[in-house]
Amino acid sequence: MDPWVPSSVDLSRPSVARMYDYFLGGSHNFAVDRDAAKVIEKIYPGMAGAARANRSFLRRAVRYLCGQGIDQFLDLGSGIPTVGNVHEIAQNIIPTARVAYVDVEPVAVAHSVALLAGNDRAIAVQADLRDPDAVLNSPAVNNLLDFSRPVGVLLAAALHFVPDTDNPHTAVARYRDALAPGSHLAISHGSLEGIPQDSVTNGERVQAIYQRTDAQLVLRTKGDITRFFDGFDIVTPGVVLLPEWRPDSDDAYITAYVGVGRKP
């Protein structure tokens, strides 16, 4: 086993974080992850492009937040680091920016810790975004981030892996209530709304494959996604399809809605 892989990792079951790493062209994934990812690619050949487009939204959102004066970030469900990490983007604009990465997947956290060695303004913590109290009360997170000041909370391609039974809207509201005024929330979330029936069918087949991984895929409606911004003022252009949010390149069309909100 590679030295960056914790001994507790179950290598018999695909991981959504490692599959996402594969779609982005990363190397921190295993045969079981690649096999599941390749099945998805047969159904939806644009999956790699969709992953890159989501990464592009994350970059645009972080740059926007830095432009609003946000200099500390809480990246929930951060996954395995690849080129264009939040700390690289933010610290290129604001050298003193601080970033706390949070993920439940041990490989994602182990590799993040290795990557961040020597960067005293970025950390990786293993915790479940579905447990806001554990995240918000983490000593490591609190030693880095000052919640009395505005924070940028990032949920990029994360909430669609949280089933309704785990009350994702309640979890997001708990994070919102802990944030200072002026804080921001950025979300990207998969959806099947407003697409042709054949695409819906393929999306349902993809969902079935994710049922065999460590997290099921839940594709919500635009209305349900917009509800995550309750208590925030949604910034222009609103909750829109991913390529329509402040585009600066030709992103692949993907069935995901995105948005950024500011806590008044």
Quick check: is 1 in a domain?
A: no
- Pairing verdict, β 72-76 and 240-241: unpaired
- Residue 230 lies inside a defined structural domain of this protein: yes
- 235 part of a folded domain: yes
Mean pLDDT of the chain: 86
8 is a domain residue: no
**11 falls within a domain:** no
The answer on pLDDT for 7 being more than 60 is no
The answer to whether residue 5 is domain-embedded is no
Q: Is residue 101 domain-resident?
A: yes
Confidence of residue 10 (pLDDT cuts 50, 70, 90): low
> Given a cut of 60, is residue 213 above it in pLDDT?
no
Spell out the long-range contacts of 19-27 with Cβ–Cβ below 8 A and sequence spacing 24 or more.
19/213, 20/51, 20/79, 20/80, 20/157, 21/79, 21/80, 21/82, 23/47, 23/48, 23/50, 23/51, 23/52, 24/48, 24/51, 24/52, 24/55, 24/82, 25/82, 26/80, 26/82
Provide the token pair at 63. Answer: 């740059």
- Residue 6 belongs to some domain of the structure: no
pLDDT for the residue numbered 197: 47
**CATH number of the domain enclosing 46:** 3.40.50.150
| Total domains, the chain | 1
Instruction: Give the model confidence (pLDDT) of 89-113 as tens digits.
Output: 999 999 999 999 999 988 889 888 9
Quick one: pLDDT at residue 206? 55
Who's near 206: CB < 8 A, 6+ residues apart?
40, 43, 44, 217
pLDDT category of residue 12 using cuts at 50, 70 and 90: confident
Q: Where in the sequence is the domain holding 142, given as residue range(s)?
A: 16-262
